[in-house]
């Protein structure tokens, strides 16, 4: 086997390994993933960053998948891309192993070394800024969120998990809200989620779960993490305007 053949073999092997370890469709973690931010009432930004094993096309499509998912979670049906940006991080590389072959002839040995090439690793990132709509907007290219979700989950064989609660808390109360005590302000709820089915709406303040008072988003997250998977119902007390309500939440 000559050096060119060996280099080609190494390249193919690395390509197969890289494809198999591409960043999954997941919230952003050490190996990459998606994140999102609400910019205004109906405008959001979604980003997806991949590791060195993630092709740019995959990062692009998974950012679009998250865009569709956020659209649906917010209670909308269509989205329009306002801005798309791509970046590639090439700051790291991998070095192929060095192999030495000894060839003997006429009483002498010849050492031939190959490998040791530095192969750059590209880490793609993709961001979408988009506006969401209930009805399909006219005179502008728009996407049906349900269609995008269905096509891309089938293409990448992604099984989306249903949210156990399905709310998006705010880290602080709106300045114009009369109530400024303990609790967590609900910014929005996920369509079809357990909390929406129980009657929770944006603007509610979560006061307690199972009679355990909630001080802030951190205490709420901790309380939810400690709810056993076997428990299928909780009682959530909320403040809506000046009225308190208890909502029975049937968990996924």
Q: Please report the DSSP string for the chain in residue order.
A: --HHHHHHHHHHHHHHHHHHTPPPS-BSBTTBEEEEEEEETTEEEEEEE--TT--HHHHHHHHHHHHHHHHHHTT-SEEEEEEEEEEEEEEEEEEPPPEEEEEEETTEEEEEEE---EEEEEEEEEEEEEEEESSPPSSS--EEHHHHHHHHHHHTT--PPPPSS-EEE-SS--TT-S--SSSEEEEEE-TTSHHHHHT--TT-EEEEETTEE--SHHHHHHHHHTS-TT--EEEEEEEETTEEEEEEEE--
Residue 94's pLDDT band (cuts 50, 70, 90): low
Q: Which of the pair, 160 or 34, is modelled with greater confidence? A: 34
Phi, psi of 241 (to 5 degrees): 70, -115
Quick one: pLDDT at residue 245? 96
The fold for domain 167-250 equals Pdz3 Domain (2.30.42)
Residue range 188-237, pLDDT digits in tens: 787 788 999 999 999 999 999 999 999 998 888 889 888 998 999 999 99
Quick one: pLDDT at residue 111? 54
Per domain, the residue ranges of the chain are 3-155, 167-250
Nearest C-alpha neighbor of 202 from the set 35, 80, 38? 38
Phi-psi region of 129 (alpha: psi -120 to 50; beta: other; left: phi over 0): beta
Decide: 63 and 42 in contact? Cβ < 8 Å. no
Quick one: pLDDT at residue 18? 47
Q: Where is average pLDDT lowest: 26-35, 37-46, 163-172, 182-191?
A: 163-172
Quick one: pLDDT at residue 76? 84
Quick one: pLDDT at residue 77? 87
Quick one: pLDDT at residue 108? 57
Nearest C-alpha neighbor of 65 from the set 140, 138, 130? 130
The first and second tokens of residue 121, run together, are: 């690793």
16, pLDDT greater than 50: no
93, pLDDT greater than 60: yes
Quick one: pLDDT at residue 122? 87
Indicate the pTM of the whole model.
0.59
CA 23 from chain centre, in angstroms, equals 10
Residue range 151-179, pLDDT digits in tens: 999 999 998 877 778 877 777 888 889 89
**How many other C-beta atoms lie within 10 A of the C-beta of residue 36?**
21
The first and second tokens of residue 26, run together, are: 């997941």
Average pLDDT taken over every residue of the chain:
85
Could you tell me whether strands 78-95 and 143-144 are parallel, antiparallel, or unpaired per DSSP bridges? antiparallel
Quick one: pLDDT at residue 19? 47
């Amino acid at each position: 086997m000559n050096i060119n053949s060996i280099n080609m073999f190494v390249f193919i092997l690395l390509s197969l390994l890289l494809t198999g370890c591409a960043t999954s469709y997941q919230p952003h973690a050490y190996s990459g993933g998606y994140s999102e931010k609400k910019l205004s009432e109906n405008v959001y930004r979604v980003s997806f960053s991949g590791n060195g094993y993630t092709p740019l096309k995959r990062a692009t499509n998974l950012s679009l998948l998250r865009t569709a998912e956020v659209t649906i979670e917010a209670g909308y049906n269509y989205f329009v891309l306002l801005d798309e940006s791509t970046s590639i991080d090439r700051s790291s590389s991998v070095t192929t192993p060095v192999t030495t072959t000894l060839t003997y002839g006429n009483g002498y040995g010849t050492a031939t070394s190959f490998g040791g090439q530095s192969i750059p690793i590209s880490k793609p990132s993709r961001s979408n800024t988009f506006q969401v709509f209930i009805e399909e907007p006219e005179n502008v290219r728009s996407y049906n969120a349900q269609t995008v979700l269905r096509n891309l989950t089938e293409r990448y064989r992604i099984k989306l998990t249903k949210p156990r609660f399905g709310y998006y808390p705010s880290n602080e109360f709106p300045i114009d809200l009369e109530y400024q005590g303990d609790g967590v302000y609900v910014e929005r709820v996920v369509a079809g989620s357990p909390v929406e089915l129980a009657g929770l709406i944006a603007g509610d303040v979560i006061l307690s779960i199972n009679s355990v008072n909630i001080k802030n988003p951190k205490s709420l997250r901790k309380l939810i993490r400690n709810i056993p998977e076997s428990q299928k119902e909780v009682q959530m007390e909320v403040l809506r305007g000046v009225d308190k309500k208890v909502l029975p939440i049937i968990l996924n």
